[in-house]
Structure 1
Amino acid sequence: MYWIILLVSAVLEAVWATALSLSDGLSDPLPTAVFFVAVTLSMLGLGYAMRGIPIGTAYAVWTGTGAALTVGYAMVFGGEQASVLKVLFLAGIIGCVIGLKVVDGKRSEKA
């Protein structure tokens, strides 16, 4: 359950980062409201997930997944130029996140 909450929180990180970018310095009401709701829920989820996932792993997964989703969204919707290398590096981030889950799962089995 902790991992599911962590991944939802990472998605919300991408939402709030994108909303912040669209808020025009927090002056546009709709993206500003989305930003505040998403950042609050994202932080609450991260905090909850840290009850069952070590802080270093949880934070790395949260930031890595959120960053990869934010860049991916920006590339798809035109805010950022896509390239083969960017996609390759984003896949590397996601691969590392999966690796952290696998390593954490093996640690939990031994405990």
Structure 2
Amino acid sequence: MAWIFLLIGGLMEVGWAIGLKYSDGFTNPVISLLTVVGIGLSFFLFGKAIKYLPIGTAYAIFTGLGAAGTAIVGMIYLNETVSLLKMFFVLLLICSIVGLKLTSSEA
């Protein structure tokens, strides 16, 4: 169950990161509220996961999912630049996340 909490929390990080962009410096009240709620839920789930997982592994996976997911969403939906080198490093990040998962165990 800890891995599910970590996965959902990491994916929610993508949502609140995008929300930060569209909150316009927290001047858009609806988007700002959704972003803050997303941050809270994301960290709540991360907190639940680290009760059972090693903190170093869990944090690396949590932030890696957020970073990779946000980069992918940016390239696909937000017209951010796409290059072979950028895609290589996102893929490398995803491979690293999978590697950390495969070499970890729950407490």
Q: Shorter-chain TM-score category?
A: over 0.9
Shift of 1:79: 4.2
Partner of 1:12: 12
Deviations 1:3-38 (A, max 9, x none): 111010001111111101110000012211211110
The 1-side partners of 2:72 and 2:50 are apart by 26
Q: Which letter does structure 1 place at the counterpart of 2:74?
A: A
RMSD value over aligned CA atoms?
1.3
Unaligned runs of 5+ in 1: none
Partner of 1:42: 42
Partner of 1:64: 64
Deviations 1:73-93 (A, max 9, x none): 011013411111111100111
SS of 2:104's partner is: helix
Deviations 1:51-101 (A, max 9, x none): 111000000000011010001101101341111111110011110010011
Aligned length: 107
**Within-5 A mapping of 1:1-111:** 1-105=1-105
The 2-side partners of 1:91 and 1:16 are apart by 22
User: Greater relative contact order (Cα 8 A, min sep 6): structure 1 or 2?
Assistant: 2
The 1-side partners of 2:81 and 2:75 are apart by 6
Q: Which runs of 4+ in 1 moved over 3 A?
A: none
Unaligned runs of 5+ in 2: none
